[in-house]
Amino acid sequence: MAIPADTFPQHPGVWTLEEVLALPEDQGGRVELVDGTVVVRPAPTSRHQRVLQRLQIACYDAVPADCEPLPGVNVVLGGARLLIPDLAVVTEPGADTVYYKGDELLMAVEVHSPSTRAYDRALKRQLYQEAGVPFLVFVDPATDPCSAVCLELDGGEYRESAHAQDGRLTLDRPFPITVHLEGTGY
């Protein structure tokens, strides 16, 4: 889905982190920055949002006190890299900030949309890995049942540490949690 040219400001050349952070908050989608290039994604579908809500609710009870789960926050992974994970578990609970740094992220969660699946699994995975984000979770609500995989950083590379079974994701690390990714109960 293309965003009309008159919705997003025109800009010659590469974007800086400061310029992206100075944009008005509502651009009609998520605005990320990768090495000077702005990536604009449309708002997620209702199914995507339901799965995300389930993850958030489960995380609020499971995340240790020295962390905080936050949906849709800015995460700066380096000079010209700003991503917005669907859900971030940050290690600075209660901080009042415009963005978190990559080293303040314990876990990033990306819920795929049809338009973001390849972007999430290839580019975002690489950027989170390069930034040293310890855990990355991918959730795909388009599968039946909903699928998910947890990747854990091991020797500078992500390795699968858990995956959903029958629409339920159970993790031991970075904290114990079970999430029913779909259904009627939380």
- The structure's pTM equals 0.84
H helix or E strand, kind and range, residue 152: strand 147-154
When pLDDT is cut at 50, 70 and 90, the band that residue 27 belongs to is low
- d(CA 60, CA 55) in angstroms, rounded, equals 9
Over the stretch 125-176, which tens digit does the pLDDT of each residue have? 999 999 999 999 999 988 889 999 999 999 999 999 999 999 999 999 999 9
pLDDT of the residue at 113: 79
Count other Cβ atoms within 10 Å, centred on residue 167.
Answer: 18
Contact in structure between 122 and 130 (CB atoms under 8 Å): no
pLDDT of the residue at 31: 79
pLDDT of the residue at 2: 40
DSSP 20-69: HHTS-S-SSEEEEEETTEEEEEEPPPHHHHHHHHHHHHHHHHHS-TT-EE
Over the stretch 76-95, which tens digit does the pLDDT of each residue have? 998 789 999 999 999 999 99
